[in-house]
Structure 1
């Protein structure tokens, strides 16, 4: 497995989104009150005009709100929320707007790397997706890649894993049933793959019976 601590965010983002096309911005009032890894993320992300986070939203200092003693710093379009504890800012909590907090096994630096890679799998220059792949085919799909040893989170449902190579990144997790109560579909996974080049995805054409889009 790949140690998440070995992934340097500036290098990773440059590989997946190209060189920075903006001058670095110095954080304004409020940014210095954020945990150092989150402040560094805000400063880093301003160097690209291309949004680095699209599936979710990392909040600015003015948008951060407190709930049950936790500072919410990221949301998704549904009701998922993520927060840090001001008393222990490297600890990350995941929850729902009307649910309980769950402390994640990932520290804030690891979480921000995990989120950047999850986003890249969806926002890379070239992508392939399938909502339901038989689990027996996953080994062939991830064969060119190595799993990243993230501690794990709950979104969008528990069990998602990240795999990567020099040109590929994959987010793989349980497939969803196609009817209520929308549980996991036994024996199937959803697959999202991003690539730096279209040719890096060509091996997927040789894996039968998968309807990629």
Structure 2
């Protein structure tokens, strides 16, 4: 297992997105009221002109609202939301706009690292994905990588895990059934792999029976 605390965000982002193309950015005054991990993330991410979070949106302070005592700091295009407790800002809660909050086991610092790595699997310069991979192939697919010991999320569905190497990141979770109620498809997984170089993904072509996109 890879210890998440071993992932230094600035180095990680430089590896996956190239060196920052802006100098240190002075954040607007309203950002100073954010929990320090969130403030530090916004200040760091502002040094890249390329967006580092695309599957979700990290909200600027003026767009944050309170729901059931938690301040929403991130949302996805559906109704998934994430919030922190203003009384204990190191805690993170996951929920839905019309549902209840569930406290995650990750601290806000660990959550932001987890989110950065998750996003890189999709935003990497080179990527392959398949929504329905027979689990028999997972050992071959994940052979070059080691699992990162992140705590579990419920997004996009419970059971997703992250694997990584120096040049690859994979997000692996249960495949979805083709018909309602859209439960997990037994024996199959969805796989998203991002890579720094195209050659890092070539080994996937040697695994039969998978149609990559």
* TM-score, normalised by the number of residues in structure 1: 0.99
User: 1: distance between equivalents of 2:106 and 2:138?
Assistant: 25
Distance in 1 between the 2:27 and 2:21 partners? Answer: 18
> How many aligned positions are there?
213
Alpha-carbon distance, 1:139 to partner: 1.1
**Within 1, Cα distance between the matches of 2:29 and 2:60?**
11
Note the C-alpha offset of 1:22.
1.2
Q: Return the offset for 1:209.
A: 0.3
Q: State the 1:48 CA deviation.
A: 0.4
Give the alignment's Cα RMSD to 1 decimal.
0.5
Match of 1:164 in 2: 164
Q: Which runs of 5+ in 1 are unaligned?
A: none
Aligned to 2:61: 61
Q: Could you say which residue in structure 2 is the equivalent of 1:80?
A: 80
Q: Which runs of no fewer than 5 residues in structure 2 stay unpaired?
A: none
Q: What's the CA shift for 1:84?
A: 0.3
In the alignment, which residue of structure 2 is the partner of 1:35? Answer: 35
**SS at 1:153's partner residue?**
coil
Question: In structure 2, what is the Cα distance between the partners aligned to 1:204 and 1:24?
Answer: 39
Residues 1:194 and 2:197 aligned together? no
Residues 108-148 of structure 1: per-residue CA shift (max 9 Å, x gap) = 01100110011100010000000000111111101000000
Per-residue CA deviation, residues 152-184 of structure 1 (Å, 9 max, x unaligned), is 110000000000000000000000011111000
Equivalent residue, structure 2, for 1:182: 182
Give the C-alpha shift of residue 4 in structure 1. Answer: 0.4
Residue 145 (structure 1) aligned with residue 145 (structure 2): yes
- CA distance in structure 2 between the partners assigned to 1:142 and 1:46 by the alignment: 32
* Per-residue deviation, 1:30: 1.3
Deviations 1:182-201 (A, max 9, x none): 00001000000000000000
